[in-house]
A = this chain, B = another copy of it.
Amino acid sequence: MKTTKTHASLKDIANYVGVSISLVSFVLNDKARQHRVSEEMVRKIKEAAEKLNYQPNIFAKSLREGKSHVIGVVLSDISNPFFSSIARCLEDEAEKYGYSVLFSSSDENRERSEKQIAHLINRGVDGLILVPCEKSQSTVRAVLETGKPLVLIDRYFPDVHTNYVCLNNREMSRLATSTILASGYSHPGTIAYDTTLQHMLDRRSGYRQAMEDAGKAAFVSESLIRECDLHQSISSAIDKLLAEGVDSLLFATNNIATESLMVIKNKGINVPGELGIIGFDGGSAFDLFQVPISYIQQPVALMAQKTVEIIMDEILVGQRLTHQIEVQGTLVIKESTKK
C-alpha cells in the first residue's frame, strides 16, 4: 500500500465517464453553463466525481492559479494570551473564505520577523497579516513592494501607508486615566514598554492628555510615565512611581499588568485603597487578584474580522484602497478603581 494514496484526478473521472479532462474541469468548477455543457453530462460527471471521491489537487491548482488559499500571519508570540486570542479569531474568519492561516511568532525581533515573512512569502501565501515589531518600517515597506496584500494589526506606522486595524489606544488610555481621576485618585502614573511603537506612544499620550485635561499637566513629569523592558525593571519602575507619590496606575499592556500585580502583591500594597489600578485586556489573572482589576477591553473578534475582510478584499477583488481602521475599546470597571 502506497503512502501517497493517489487520489482520483480529473483524468480518472474523464476516463470513467468517457469524456475529456477539460469537460470535467468545466463542470466541477461550475463553468458548465458558461460552456453550455449538457445537463445530462453535468449529472454524469458530478456523479462520477462523487463516486470516485474526487478531491482537487491543491498543489496543481496553486501552481496553475498562482494562489495558495493561505494567508500568513506574523505576530509577536502565539503563546501570549492576547495574540493567541487574535490568532483564534483570525482562524475563524479566514475559514469563512475557505482560507487557512499560517502563523509564526516574531518575538518582537526584527530579523526574526523578516525571516518569517520571507518564509511565508516563499510558501506562497496570498496575503500577509502582521503585528509589526519596532523599527520594522523598512520590512513593511519591502512587503508592500512585493505587491502582496498586507494588513497590519494591533500596531501601525504613521509614516508607512498601509492597511491597518488597531484599537483607539489614545482615547481608551485617556478615558481610563480620567476615570481613575474621577474615582478620587489624584496622582495617577502609568507603566508602558520602552518602545517607539505607535500603539505604546498612543497609550502614553492618552494618559498625558487626560492629565492635561484635568489641569495636572504640571504634575506629569516624565518620571510618571515609566518604561520597562525586562521583567526586573517593572519592580523598580513601581518603586520609583510610588516614591513620586503616585496613588494609582495604568498599565499599558496585559503583560505589564500581570507582572506588576505580582510585584504589588508581594509588596503587600492594598488595592484599591492605597493604589488604584487599570490594566489592559482582562483575563483570569485579573479576576483572581485580591480585588478584581478594571481593564480596557479590546474587541478582538471585531479586529480580526475587519483585518480578514480587508485582506480578502485585496486578494479576491484585487481592491487597492487603503483601509485604516481604529476600533473602539470598552472600559470595564471593577473593584480596583473604587477608592
Q: Which residues of A contact B (CB under 8 A)?
A: 1-5, 55-60, 62-63, 66, 68, 70, 77-81, 84-85, 87-88, 91, 95, 100-105, 119-120, 122-124, 146-147, 258, 261-262, 265, 283-285, 287-290, 318
Contacts and interface: CB of A to CB of B under 8 A. Distances in A.
Given A59-B59, A59-B124, A284-B262, A88 B81 contact: no
B68 A77 contact: no
Contacts of A68: 59
B3 A147 contact: yes
24 contacts: A5-B146, A57-B124, A59-B68, A63-B63, A70-B102, A77-B88, A78-B84, A78-B91, A79-B81, A79-B84, A87-B103, A91-B105, A95-B104, A100-B119, A100-B120, A101-B102, A101-B103, A103-B103, A258-B288, A262-B287, A265-B288, A283-B284, A285-B287, A285-B288
A124 B258 contact: no
Nearest to A66: B4
A80 B57 CA distance: 33
* Chain copies in complex: 2
Contacts of A63: 57, 59-60, 62-63
B122 A104 contact: no
A81 B78 contact: no
A73 to B, nearest CB: 10
A122 B258 CA distance: 41
Given A58-B124, A84-B87, A284-B285, A147 B262 contact: no
Contacts of A146: 5
Nearest to A287: B262
Nearest to A87: B78
Contact of A88 (B78, B102, B124, B261): B78
Contact of A288 (B55, B103, B262, B318): B262
B91 A87 contact: no
Contacts of A95: 104
B100 A123 contact: yes
Contact of A100 (B66, B84, B102): B102
Contact of A102 (B60, B62, B102, B122): B102
A197 B262 CA distance: 35
B122 A105 contact: no
Given A91-B105, A102-B102, A262-B287, A123 B77 contact: no
